[in-house]
Amino acid sequence: MSNLKNLARKAQYLPYAYIDDKISLEDYHALPSMSAHNLMDAENSCALAHYNKAHSTKATAAMINGTLIHAAIETRDIAQFYVLEPPGLNKRTTAGKQELKEFHEANSDKTIITEKQWEMAAGCREAAWSHLYAKPYLEAAKFECSGFATINGVDVKARPDLDCYEHQRTLVDIKSRQKGQANVEKWLKDWWYYGTYIQAGLQLLVWEKLNRPCDHYYYLLVENAEPYQVHMVYLDQELIEISKEKTLDVIEKWKSWIGAGSPDGYGQPQKMVAKPWHRNYELAL
């Protein structure tokens, strides 16, 4: 029986809130529970969320670099999952293409990256671990723990980057940013625009179900270009409550959509309104 089937079978017999600190990211994504990204899609359209959950998309360059930065910071060992592309390789020639193919085959268990990517990841790692305010959380963290729970009848999952429950009852999420974009005002604007509050809200709600309620939620913002600026920002109590409320709203929306037979599209006609749903959104814009 495959590892994934074992995990699914195990989940049937566990009290449905449980934590797993061994499951790989690939197996985590493959399990059917609704993730934060699934719910972020559902806030827009449940039909879109259902489609995207069934159809994986190719990783963009930004996504690849973001995963690389996460791995570099969390493991402090880039070589654990990555290998440097052979220097001086001419990918335009037949011989160069063949050499690259053979190199891929010899390193099939790792992701091949360029020297520039390696230097970027190392720069981000050193900046994060030497940062006065980030270092205590990194040192105290349990990395990439996966939590599973049922909330309002919907099976959900969450995977905070840093579980610092034992260190000030805190969750921390790492976000890679472009140069100059770790400024708190710029991050807040993107946080609202992309619905990132659902990721925070889901993690906090799942950790409550796990009897690990967290009072604080931080973002470790790391810029991916020199001088690799790092910024620790956190949600105030109002934003924590809004994050959880908005997440519960989307969970209920998903549950209702499933109960209605999973209709196509956006549903019934909706009224356009003059003001956004919350004043903080206006301030962020």
Q: Give 87-126 pLDDT, tens digit per residue.
A: 877 778 888 788 888 888 888 899 989 999 999 999 999 9
Per the prediction, the chain carries an average pLDDT of: 90
Least confident of 11-20, 77-86, 96-105, 208-217: 11-20
Contacts 24+ apart (CB under 8 A), 240-244: 240/200, 240/204, 242/197, 242/201, 242/278, 242/280, 243/197, 243/198, 243/200, 243/201, 243/204, 243/217, 244/201, 244/204, 244/205
The CA radius of gyration of the chain, in Å to the nearest whole number, is 20
Residue 16 contacts residue 150 (beta carbons within 8 Å)? yes
Q: Identify the band that residue 9 occupies on the pLDDT scale cut at 50, 70 and 90.
A: very low
Q: Give 185-232 pLDDT, tens digit per residue.
A: 999 999 999 999 999 999 999 999 999 999 999 999 999 999 999 999
